[in-house]
Amino acid sequence: MPRMIHIRMILLSLALFAALPSAHAQVRVVASIKPVHSLVAAVMQGAGKPELIVQGGGSPHTYTLRPSDARALQNAKVVVWMGENLERFLHGPVKALAGKAAVVELADVAGLTTHSFREGGVWEKHGHGKQEEDHNHSHGQKHDHSHDHARIDNHMWVDPVNAKAFVSAIAAALVAADPANAELYRKNAKATQARLDALLLEMKNELEPAKKRGFIVFHDSFQYLEKRFGLNGVGSISLGDARAPGARRLREIRAKVKASGAVCVFSEPQFEPRLVSTVLEGSSARSGVLDPLGAKIENGPDLYFAMMRNNTRSLRACLAG
Ligand SMILES: [Zn+2]
């Protein structure tokens, strides 16, 4: 008798399990970099977790695709990335491997605020290295650069207003790929956009006293934040590969910091503090750290918000302190 009940229970629970919507396999989604992954994770909460390509302190400018990344792209139903001006390494693989996936190129989303790369004067050419030159010749077919993609700075996510537009595009792609969870995606997207609105307001208040003072960054990845909040970024020193510059280069950089009148020089987490102090030698500028990727923050829906708050705090502490 007890044994019969036991078997019946098993059969019943199996039947129930099969009937539940949660029993359907989670949709496979791949995101390129940590802040993008975070926004995707926020929209997917309760339906599954996206995979991430560029982990930890890796740079999207210099990343090389691993075999496991290639497999993830092949199995993906949705791929979310910024675009070829940022994750250049994905340009070929997205076409070659993720042929069956819906690809969301966030740099092309409607309603974004966009800016061109800053070059010349105190802004150094962005650290894409040699790949920049081969870019237009390396892949057989010509692309249509009708909207002048090539000049657009793709570090757009550091503006929460742009992040809201990303969330809409991410939700639309998820709804199309996985209609069973459409309601959940829409609800999550709304909640994430409300959080982004609150973040925007908080940042406006926090950054108000940091507005006028000039600062320099190690790599020009913050212009969307600067322009959104009216900050005064005056130049970049482009130490793209995190290696110590030679004596001559160091003299040039020091002269540049001095001439710019910057009160702060911001490095990124992957640079050694010693390098920062070397650059600042003989200058009265203070140093701080800005992190466009959330390198040391745990992946997930909260990463984006933690990263933006850390950067806000750094800017305020160094510029208004
Ligand atoms: Zn960059």
What residues does each domain of the chain span? 26-130+151-200, 209-320
- Scanning 45-130, the segments in alpha helix (DSSP H) are 67-75, 91-97
Query: Is pTM beyond 0.95 here?
Result: no
State the pLDDT at residue 141: 38
Task: Tell me if 51 sits within 8 A of 31, measured CB to CB.
Answer: yes
In 3D, which of 161, 39, 50, 149 has the Cα closest to residue 91? 149
State the pLDDT at residue 130: 38
Per-residue pLDDT of the chain (321 residues; tens, 9 = 90+): 456 556 666 665 655 555 455 546 899 999 999 999 999 999 999 999 999 999 998 889 889 999 999 999 999 999 999 999 999 999 999 999 988 899 999 999 999 999 998 876 667 766 544 333 333 333 333 344 444 566 899 999 999 999 999 999 999 999 999 999 999 999 999 999 999 999 999 999 999 999 989 999 988 899 999 999 999 998 888 665 445 677 887 888 888 888 888 999 999 887 777 888 888 888 889 999 999 999 999 999 999 999 999 999 999 999 997
State the pLDDT at residue 143: 42
Q: Which residues are within 5 Å of ligand 1 (an ion), measured at CB?
A: 221
Tell me how many helices (H) and strands (E) the chain has. 11, 8
- 85 alpha carbon – ligand 1 mean position (Å): 9
Task: Tell me if 227 sits within 8 A of 203, measured CB to CB.
Answer: no
- Scanning 208-302, the segments in alpha helix (DSSP H) are 223-229, 247-260, 273-280
Q: For residues 157 and 155, what is the distance between their CA atoms, to the nearest angstrom?
A: 6
Same topology, domains 26-130+151-200 and 209-320? Answer is yes
- 86 alpha carbon – ligand 1 mean position (Å): 7
Task: Tell me if 193 sits within 8 A of 161, measured CB to CB.
Answer: no
- 127 alpha carbon – ligand 1 mean position (Å): 7
Q: In the structure encoding, which two tokens stand for residue 30, read together?
A: 């791949």
- 9 alpha carbon – ligand 1 mean position (Å): 57
Count of other CB atoms within 10 angstroms of residue 93: 17
Asked if CATH classification 2.60.98.20 holds for the domain at 26-130+151-200, the reply, yes or no, is: no
- Residue tagged 């030679």 (tokens): 246
- 220 alpha carbon – ligand 1 mean position (Å): 6
209-320 — its CATH code? 3.40.50.1980
Give CA 92 to chain center in angstroms: 20
- 246 alpha carbon – ligand 1 mean position (Å): 22
- 169 alpha carbon – ligand 1 mean position (Å): 22
Rounded to whole angstroms, what are the CA distances from 115 to 51, 84, 227, 247, 258?
Answer: 29, 15, 9, 33, 27
